[in-house]
Amino acid sequence: MFKDITPLLDDADAFRWAADELADRFSDTPADRVVGVEARGFILGAAVAYRLGLGFVPVRKPGKLPYDTRSVDYQLEYGTASLEAHTDALAPGQRVLILDDVLATGGTAAAAVELVNSGEAVVAGLGFLIELGFLSGREKIGVDADCPVISLFCFGGDE
């Protein structure tokens, strides 16, 4: 089941609502940076970082970042993949919000969490525009129960 977010991005009012809603839901969550996961997570993450007055860190596929990187490999439904971040993008102890467009099986989100933790930063929360609840990805992310995981829309789940 594919959920296309481009119509939302094309509608200025809907896009503003989504970015504001995610920012509002994290407004009481202490954070130092927003991590956006390639590629649509960049769009939401950058908008939320701007709104919250935080720095933005892109997490990308291998070979796309121009500086020294750390990486993490993870399983997809159809194979393996990797994510990378600059080695100096996050400092130990920094609190990080991770943003992406869709939470499906949880593999990409779990890899982003692992990447943040590998730099000794702390995941303060995760936000998604859409969650495919029937895939149970939320259960696979690997964060503490007190870490907020927020989805604006959920299809086929209890959230």
Q: What is the tens place of the pLDDT at every residue in 69-113? A: 999 999 887 889 999 999 999 999 999 999 999 999 999 999 999
Q: What is the tens place of the pLDDT at every residue in 123-153? A: 999 999 999 999 999 999 989 989 999 999 9
Active-site residue, 77 included: yes
Give the model's confidence band at 158: pLDDT under 50 very low, under 70 low, under 90 confident, else very high. Answer: low
Catalytic: which of 40, 51, 70, 95? 40
Specify the long-range contacts of residues 61-69, CB closer than 8 Å, at least 24 apart. Answer: 64/38
Mean pLDDT of the chain: 94
**CATH number, domain 24-155:** 3.40.50.2020
Across the range 57-80, mean pLDDT stands at 91
**Where do the domains of the chain lie?**
24-155
Active-site residue, 138 included: no
